[in-house]
Chain A
Amino acid sequence: MLSRNAQGLYWISRYLERAQHGCRLLADQLQTLEDRPVEEIDQTWRRLYASLDREPVGGSLESNLDDENFMLADSYTLADDLTFESSNRDSILSCIATARENARQVRNVISKDMWYCLNVAYLKLSKVGIADIWDDRPGDFYLHAEDTIRTFSGIVDSTVYRDDGWHFIQLGRFVERVQLLAALIEAQITVFPLNEAHIESEWLSLLQVCEARSTFSRRYSLEYQPVNVINFLVSDLRLSRSIRYALARIVVALERVSEKRPAQEARRLAGHMAAYIDFDWPRHDLNDTDATRTVLQELRDTSRKVHENIETTYFEYEIEDTPGA
């Protein structure tokens, strides 16, 4: 497969994973506006921004907690920033626009339905602004946007030929997922430190964002203990939005992709992370917030290195030796 095409596919799925994550975060966040105290709304915004490594526009999180109207107006600005702001490369609209731009680059190797789905989604989204969605159940907008991305994934699953292109799509999705999850959990324990008394709803909402709430309730209990939640989201191999699951998919994709040119370093790093979680993850000893955060940061750093190695092995490699004619 042409390197640029592989790169395009990889980035389409990375950006859509990011957009979907954004949709889930905001759908959850806007629900909190309905019935939660202002302090909690404030904290969840902090968690959200911290998890995206982003500073809110104009430092607007320095809010006046006595003034509820201020906070709601603020939410409007913040949601706009994360949804439609074109200067924010990670806003939902930007992510979908970039995914579409990449799809245009590789349109001759993706199925017609993939392109169609993404193009129509973009054309619709680009006509909407925050004012259009705010008054009438804004959460619905995000659920709908997420549905579109899910539809796209379904089309990918059912139309893509299982060659290298498929594996690069998987790599993009799951490398992005590891990064997003590690960053989200890290932000969670920064805003809600593990050694302090926990507010149950905050951990519930974390599970919600990761599509893990009902499964967690069945497997554990209705006691949303932070340690259990973190263990679940990091190490459960059967949960599709867990770090361990995403790593497993990365390992498989790296094994199958381009057998003639293995990305050795990426394979080593991904396998190492998976083994670390299986055998060395301090699952019963997570109450030290700083230590846990360090581990999560290491996971993020390592997954970034995986990304870099994929890039230099397949997309932008140097030519050293004489190629066979």
Chain B
Amino acid sequence: MRGKRARFVTPVFTINYNSLTEKNLPGVNPVKSASLFSGYKVNPAFYDEMFSATGVPREHCKALWEHLGEMSSADIAALQERTEQSFLHEGITFSVYGDESAQERIIPIDLLPRVLDAGEWQLIEHGLHQRLRALNLFLADIYAQEPAQVLGDGIVPADLVYGCPQYRVQMRGLQVPLGIHVFLCGTDLVRTHDGFMVLEDNLRVPSGVSYMLANRRALKTSMRNLFRRHRVCGIEQYGKLLRKTLAEFAPAGVADPCIVLLTPGIYNSAYYEHMFLAREMGVELVQGKDLLVHNGFVYMRTTEGLRRVDVIYRRIDDDYIDPLAFRQDSRLGTPGLFYAYRMGNVAIANAPGTGVADDKSLYAYVPDIIRYYLNEEPLLANVETHLCREPEGLEYTLDNLEQLIVKVVGGSGGYGMLVGPQASANERAAYAAEIRKNPANYVSQPTLDLSCAPCLTHEGAAPRHVDLRPFVLCGQEPRLVPGAFCRVALRPGSLVVNSSQGGGGKDLWVLPP
């Protein structure tokens, strides 16, 4: 399997404004009106979200393009600054691990929205539901009491499951509510000239949904006119859907379940989001020490005494939720929680042990998993992936390191990965040595031609690479709000969109049919 390599050689077009008709409103200076995009250069090597390769705005982006063109870069830059200031004041911040100096940072927001039309969104919606359905069947299969069929049938190598550090033997034979292990999944999607692709599934404690909502809110505040003139699908119902979905996991016989969100506390990088979601849902935000287990039931400590808890939306990793069942040194969790869960007296969502299905090695098998359980072709493609645990994969990876992105199998958030084309020879050599020490810990993928969208820079709008992370809910039925956390690599040319690595966000619009 070889990736196509033909980049940075194609000519670069500039948008030709004279060839485009533009509705000039009275009093609007036509030169100024074009200024935001006047320096914008479409690089045909990458799919551009707003313009065709020849620099003409795509049909569904035309109205937005016209509207934004009426504003000057300076106007938008001023709005931008005010918005970031309000993020800081509201405390919409995250922390970066290993960076003592800047404890609280905002995720920079770019005010130019990215737009998807109804057809594009429909494909994503169906593709994500399909994928999550298959992954839930896979998890039910490998955690069933009986030997897993998917392994018996040779679809997935058994050691990939049982040898995975995220496999939780404690979950074996446990009947999870609704039979669903993953109630919430945040899937990273990218687009290339070949269409949408799944970059990775986040099935443990996916984060970022608060930024989806905060970015929309910020855009609505700062650019109200945009929303007057465009019909954009609403996403504000997310909190309500989240609560509704969680309630469906309540133990039998509990009519009005007490739902809580379990956070590791204010020092967690995603604390803002935990607080935000608890607020949106109108549920208590609890820490491990607020809960206790008594006679197999979970309670929280309130000023009126103990109150029973029925559903826990946990934002703590498996390892830390219960020192009696998992890591003994955890001080974030609640002793006995897993016992109460086994007894069926409380629901924990997502279920422990789902990480086995978003492992970066297992990822390569997801298309087969979809075919196996659903007897359907995957609607969303995977990125070609080389598993270093296999001799061919290892050899290919080491031979082509300067063209590949190498990821740590259990890692997330962009930590520990190597971006081959941007690394120095020394860095690559050191990384290669690490790979040889423990090949099974690495996978490699070609550097993708990630699509670009216009972003505000000091020189007006300029293309930057983007991806998107929609959040799929799954209870009695699958639910998806038409929106996503759209991440942007703010540094020119950078392909890394992770917020911990200098990425930012922008609002993503889905247009109604």
Contact = CB atoms under 8 A, between A and B. Distances in A.
Contacts of A5: 284
Q: Please classify how large the interface on chain B is, using the bins under 10, 10 to 19, 20 to 34, 35 or more.
A: 20 to 34
Contacts, number: 73
Interface in A147-178: 164, 168
A4 B287 contact: yes
B275 A261 contact: no
Interface stretch (A29-37, A82-90, A102-110): A102-110
Interface in A231-268: 257-258, 260-261
B109 to A, nearest CB: 18
Contact of B301 (A108, A115, A258, A317): A317
A120 interface: yes
A19 B304 CA distance: 30
A112 B285 CA distance: 16
Interface string A305-325: 000000000100101001101
A257 B90 CA distance: 30
A76 interface: no
A260 B275 CA distance: 28
B301 A3 contact: yes
A323 B290 contact: no
B292 interface: yes
Interface in B283-324: 284-287, 289-290, 292, 294-295, 297, 299-306, 308
B278 interface: yes
Interface in B86-116: 88-91
B230 interface: no
Contact of B90 (A116, A261, A322, A323): A116
B279 interface: yes
A123 interface: yes
A119 B90 contact: yes
A150 to B, nearest CB: 19
Interface in B120-136: none
Interface in B234-288: 265-266, 271, 275-276, 278-279, 284-287
Given A120-B89, A260-B305, A2 B271 contact: no
A260 B304 contact: yes
Nearest to B305: A261
A261 B271 CA distance: 31
Given A105-B266, A108-B285, A119-B91, A323 B279 contact: no
Contacts of B292: 319
A101 interface: yes
B278 A108 contact: yes
B303 A101 contact: no
A105 B284 CA distance: 12
A115 B86 CA distance: 13
A112 B301 CA distance: 25
B304 A261 contact: yes
A1 interface: yes
A6 interface: yes
Nearest to A119: B91
Contacts of B287: 4
B299 A323 contact: yes
A104 B290 CA distance: 16
B273 to A, nearest CB: 11
B332 to A, nearest CB: 14
Contacts of A6: 303
A314 B290 CA distance: 12
A220 B278 CA distance: 53
A319 B306 CA distance: 9
A107 B88 contact: no
A22 B188 CA distance: 51
A323 B296 CA distance: 12
A325 B278 contact: no
Contacts of A119: 89-91
Interface string B176-218: 0000000000000000000000000000000000000000000
A314 B303 contact: yes
B294 A2 contact: no
A123 B297 contact: no
A108 B279 contact: yes
Contacts of B279: 107-108
A116 B90 CA distance: 6
Interface in A268-324: 314, 317, 319, 322-323
A323 B294 contact: yes
A2 B290 contact: yes
A219 to B, nearest CB: 39
A322 B294 contact: yes
A2 B306 CA distance: 9
Interface string A78-104: 000000000000000000000001001
A257 B89 contact: no
Interface in A97-139: 101, 104-105, 107-108, 112, 115-116, 119-120, 123
B300 A123 contact: no
A255 to B, nearest CB: 14
A258 B297 contact: no
Given A119-B89, A120-B89, A323 B303 contact: no
B91 A1 contact: no
A264 to B, nearest CB: 15
B308 A107 contact: no
Contacts of B266: 101, 104-105
Contacts of B290: 2-4
Contacts of A323: 294, 299, 305-306
Interface in A1-60: 1-6
A131 to B, nearest CB: 22
B276 to A, nearest CB: 8
Given A2-B302, A3-B290, A322-B294, 20 more contacts: A1-B303, A2-B303, A3-B303, A4-B289, A6-B303, A104-B91, A104-B266, A104-B271, A107-B91, A112-B90, A119-B90, A123-B88, A123-B89, A164-B303, A164-B304, A261-B305, A319-B294, A319-B306, A322-B295, A323-B294
Interface of B: 88-91, 265-266, 271, 275-276, 278-279, 284-287, 289-290, 292, 294-295, 297, 299-306, 308
14 contacts: A3-B302, A104-B91, A104-B271, A107-B91, A108-B279, A108-B284, A119-B89, A123-B88, A168-B303, A260-B304, A261-B303, A319-B294, A322-B294, A323-B305
Closest 7 CB pairs of A and B: A323-B306, A3-B301, A108-B278, A108-B279, A314-B303, A258-B303, A108-B285
